[in-house]
A = this chain, B = another copy of it.
Amino acid sequence: MKLRNEYTCPLEMTHDIIRGKWKPIIIWELSKGKKSLSSLKNEIKGISQKMLLQHLQELSDYGVVSKNVYEGYPLKVEYYLTDRGRKIFEVVSIMQGIGIEIMVEDKREDFLKEKGLL
C-alpha cells in the first residue's frame, strides 16, 4: 500500500491514485472484466509494455487492482479491479461522461459517432 498520510483532503488521495498518464484508461478497460497483460496492451492504443506494467504495479500498491497468477506454460495472469478499484471506476466513469458532454458542446459529434459513443 502506497497511500500517503499527509493528504490535505480526500480529493488529493483520489487524484494521486489516477494521475498517471494511462491510469484512467487502464481502469476503464479492467472495468469490463479480467484481462491479461497482452490484451490490455492490445486494447490500449499507444501504451508501452513498461508503462502498462508500471501503472498496474502502482494501482496494485494502491489496492485498486489485483491479479491472479496461474503457473504453467504459457504463463497466464489475469488482472482485475478490486472493490476499491470499482469505487475508483466511478470517478473514471464520470470523467468519460463529462468528456462526452464537453465534446458535444465543442461540436465534436463526428468523433463521438466514429467511436460509437453518440
Q: Which residues of A contact B (CB under 8 A)?
A: 3, 7-15, 18-19, 21, 24-25, 28, 45-46, 84, 87-88, 90-92, 94-103, 105-106, 111-112, 115, 117
Contact = CB atoms under 8 A, between A and B. Distances in A.
Contact of A10 (B11, B15, B99): B99
A99 B24 contact: no
A90 B90 CA distance: 12
5 contacts: A11-B92, A19-B21, A84-B102, A87-B98, A90-B98
Contacts of A8: 25, 45-46
Nearest to A106: B3
Nearest to A23: B15
